[in-house]
Structure 1
Amino acid sequence: MDPPHSQGICHSWMVLPWNDGSGIGNGSFGIFKTRNSAGLSLRWRCFGESSSLPWEIPEGFVIPGEAVVPVANCDVREYNSNPKEQLPFKEFVEYWRECIGNGHRSPRGCLYLKDWHLSRAFPEQDVYTTPVYFSSDWLNEYWDAAAGDDFRFVYMGPKGSWTPFHADVFRSYSWSANVCGRKRWLLYPAGHEEFLRDRHGNLPFDVTAPDLRDERIYPRSGRSQPPLEILQEAGEIVFIPSGWHHQVHNLEDTISINHNWVNGCNVAAMWSFLQDELAAVQRELGQWRDPMDDWHLQCQLIMKSCTGIDYKEFYNFLRVVAENRISVLEKGLDEESSSQRNSKAAISALGMLHAVFDLKRAAQVLSSLSANEDFRRLGPAGLGPAPEALLQRLQAAIDTALL
């Protein structure tokens, strides 16, 4: 199908087939990331050049049946999502087998194991290796070390399971690899979702619903172009750019890896999103601005509860990313914690120029954050080095590296 157009900008996409194993160059893929305008599907041989299958379970890999996993019911709508429950992995597998045996029907509804932090739950297991195109990953670099969290997920669902219309956390990039099965993706370029809001400003739950064409409910829907549609086969990866809203349907029994990440190409989009989120909170709390002494702190608190991050943590996110790259440029790899060594090894593998590129992008966003009035009101507590000092160190590292 033809790519959609929005506000005069052509949002292109292309399919990149797996060939002799050389794939595409990381520099070529960087074009897609910096333009933020490509839906991308490519074949990825997950384990071993000799394998004829797109996925093999590594030898010794075991998931205990008593492991507890998050499971959504796709047949139930709760606000604009599907309600979740925690189930033993063994129970979900038994449900899935019964569902398949009953023609993909179950009195329990259509259950979908999603957002499972498998890598975090079993760090000793080598769950998967991130493809080189996606290896510059600030998001997981920070959360692995600072918060003991991650944005690496496994999804398992029967035919008919699906994920409602949404955009990804922090307006990050995401990539999704089909271990087995088949998915149908419906994607809208960043900004295009505005045509899909209803009279109250709410986004749709399901973009395939007939009432989306009712302009009494969705007054701007007639201006919307059809979504970009991708059919993803087993062994293929789909790349979702920052801010692209999407909806995903499993056309067969499907297992996939879904991984969110931010880097120098889209960290400015993350910062823009956070500013929009804070502005929305401030509008909602506007009437209490004068009588509430700590109004600005309360806005940050509510923003973090809704979004998962506030301005101070965003500063520390930029600080950790910058300091890791400065350390690699100045000292190389040294004896530190395992997570720090792993992060710095990944940075070193990308090369000095990539580290300098990252520092330049971090400096641009850090400069904007430091000048932001809402950030300046928060004060220096909990920030580590002052933003001005960090910026000076950043610039010095860039200048030294380029000598």
Structure 2
Amino acid sequence: MSNIEIVDSNISTNSEKSCVFDSSINIDEISYNDFFSNYLIANKPCIIQSNATKNWPCKKDWIQNGAPNFTLLKQLFGDCTVPVADCNKRFYNSQDKDEMTINDYLNYWMDFRAQNYPTDSPLLYLKDWHCKKEHPKMSIYQVPKYFASDWLNEYYSGRTNLNDDYMFVYIGPKGSWTPFHADVFSSYSWSANIHGRKRWLIFPPGEENHLRDSFGKLNYDVLEDERIKNDNKSVKFYDIIQETGEIIFVPSGWHHQVWNLEDTISINHNWVNGCNINNMWLALKNELLSVMREIEDCKEMEDWSSHCQLMLKASHGMNYAQFYDFLSFIAEKRINSLVYKTPNLSFDTWIFGKNHNLFDLRQIKIILENFVEDAKDKSIYNLICKNDEVEMLLNKIELVFQSCK
């Protein structure tokens, strides 16, 4: 096991670093601390070179003679049921989705390749497959140290009753694509190509507002906008080609659209940590305000606030109660590590050092204090915190800080 550490646990999360895209980082030449400061806190995109993935089992086993190893993939996963999108069928602001077995999907893919990718056929893209969750004992890939501080997957892996995670496999033929979007919970994402090439258009926060229609809705396909198609400088974005073996880091809150330039297989994670937890919290608050506005005419109904939280969970994937559970789960693990010296193991490989644990607790404390203030302002504090559990956790965190001085 290896320690990951932050040299200065009081590091500020306010960064004035330029958001220029870094097209290539040698994973052997940048430290965890440098990546933490220059990319996570700076919220700056980059590509990590292909040596980061060269020893991954999936890169060695799932690919044969420069093509997907269809025979092995069928043997390993053939009976699995997976979500599949038809890139040629729009469903509101997404793509029409269905389910298939891996066997059926791979048969479709082989036939589609053999016919030279006909444009009059369905263009099917296997997305958001929870391969790791479904095969926890299978050695597939190793999470690089830069992405080890992953509260989202730490939480969902630890709360086994939730039966969820944000670790995915994507498999798609040449031409398959994902419409314009920002990632769930305003999370970071990383995506590693184990086969094939992708094109990414990535937009710094705020630039997406230039691409809204008269109703305020975002474009489904940014190439429908002439300014993007013709690379008009009035909208700032990065046009990136990701090669086989490379990992792209997409910062929190950056909208993007992605195309597979070749038959492609990728490993993707969505993740949150102390560097972007405030973005996650702001997104949750804003979504609740949207829900409250939507049903404001029903405000006199009994349990209106509870109904708002139910709608928030349905629309956003998390409500205030679960957000607190998420923060408290991470906080307790950091407290146990600092007080009882209990190692906090990430992805069976990385252990957080003292400064890292302290940094995480400081960020959680800031969010929890604002959480209490916001819940009281919205008159939902007693609904969310029936036993003052948030205040008790804040006191517990403060005691840990005092003991660590």
In the superposition, the TM-score normalised over structure 1's length comes to 0.86
The 1:241/1:344 distance shift into structure 2, 3 A limit, reads closer
Match status 1:391 vs 2:394: yes
Determine the structure 2 residue equivalent to 1:184.
199
- Out of 204-213 and 158-167, give the one that drifted further: 204-213
SS in 1 for 2:331: helix
Determine the structure 1 residue equivalent to 2:124.
111
2:211 to 149, 173, 196: 196
- Deviation at 1:377? 1.3
Determine the structure 2 residue equivalent to 1:88.
101
Determine the structure 2 residue equivalent to 1:362.
364
Pairing 1:300-315 to 2, within 5 Å after superposition:
300-315=309-324
Determine the structure 1 residue equivalent to 2:282.
272
Answer yes or no: is the 8 Å Cα contact 2:204–2:236 preserved in 1: no
2:24 to 16, 19, 22: 16
Deviations 1:137-163 (A, max 9, x none): 000111112222100000000000000
Deviations 1:80-123 (A, max 9, x none): 01111110101111111111111112754110001000001111
Determine the structure 2 residue equivalent to 1:297.
306
The 1:125/1:344 distance shift into structure 2, 3 A limit, reads closer
- Deviation at 1:69? 0.8
Determine the structure 2 residue equivalent to 1:168.
183
Determine the structure 2 residue equivalent to 1:46.
53
SS in 2 for 1:379: helix
Q: Percent identity of the aligned residues?
A: 39
- Deviation at 1:47? 5.0
Q: Give the Cα separation in 1 of the matches to 2:139 and 2:99.
A: 24
Pairing 1:121-132 to 2, within 5 Å after superposition:
121-132=134-145
- Deviation at 1:195? 1.2
- Deviation at 1:304? 0.7
- Deviation at 1:56? 1.2
SS in 1 for 2:88: coil
* Residue type of the alignment partner of 1:391: L
- Deviation at 1:54? 9.2
Determine the structure 2 residue equivalent to 1:320.
329
Answer yes or no: is the 8 Å Cα contact 2:189–2:250 preserved in 1: yes
Q: Give the Cα separation in 2 of the matches to 1:10 and 1:22.
A: 23
SS in 1 for 2:327: helix
* Residue type of the alignment partner of 2:84: V
Q: Give the Cα separation in 2 of the matches to 1:63 and 1:375.
A: 50
- Deviation at 1:382? 7.2
Pairing 1:243-282 to 2, within 5 Å after superposition:
243-282=253-292
Deviations 1:337-362 (A, max 9, x none): xxxx7459767x22110000000001
Q: Give the Cα separation in 1 of the matches to 2:205 and 2:251.
A: 8
Determine the structure 1 residue equivalent to 2:403.
400
Answer yes or no: is the 8 Å Cα contact 1:99–1:106 preserved in 2: no
Match status 1:285 vs 2:295: yes
Q: Give the Cα separation in 2 of the matches to 1:213 and 1:176.
A: 23
Determine the structure 1 residue equivalent to 2:248.
238
- Deviation at 1:45? 3.4
SS in 2 for 1:208: helix
* Residue type of the alignment partner of 1:135: A
The 1:195/1:100 distance shift into structure 2, 3 A limit, reads same
Pairing 1:65-84 to 2, within 5 Å after superposition:
65-84=78-97
SS in 1 for 2:310: helix
Determine the structure 2 residue equivalent to 1:3.
none
- Deviation at 1:313? 0.5
SS in 2 for 1:77: strand
Q: Alignment length, in residue pairs? A: 376
Q: Give the Cα separation in 1 of the matches to 2:296 and 2:378.
A: 18
Determine the structure 2 residue equivalent to 1:56.
60
Deviations 1:201-236 (A, max 9, x none): 00000001146779xxxxxx9884242111000000
Deviations 1:228-274 (A, max 9, x none): 11100000000000100000000000000110000000000100111
- Deviation at 1:16? 3.0
Q: Give the Cα separation in 2 of the matches to 1:330 and 1:160.
A: 52
The 1:133/1:376 distance shift into structure 2, 3 A limit, reads farther
* Residue type of the alignment partner of 1:25: S
The 1:17/1:10 distance shift into structure 2, 3 A limit, reads closer
* Residue type of the alignment partner of 2:281: W
Q: Give the Cα separation in 1 of the matches to 2:99 and 2:48.
A: 32
SS in 2 for 1:205: coil
Answer yes or no: is the 8 Å Cα contact 1:44–1:237 preserved in 2: no
The 1:383/1:84 distance shift into structure 2, 3 A limit, reads farther
- Out of 192-201 and 9-18, give the one that drifted further: 9-18
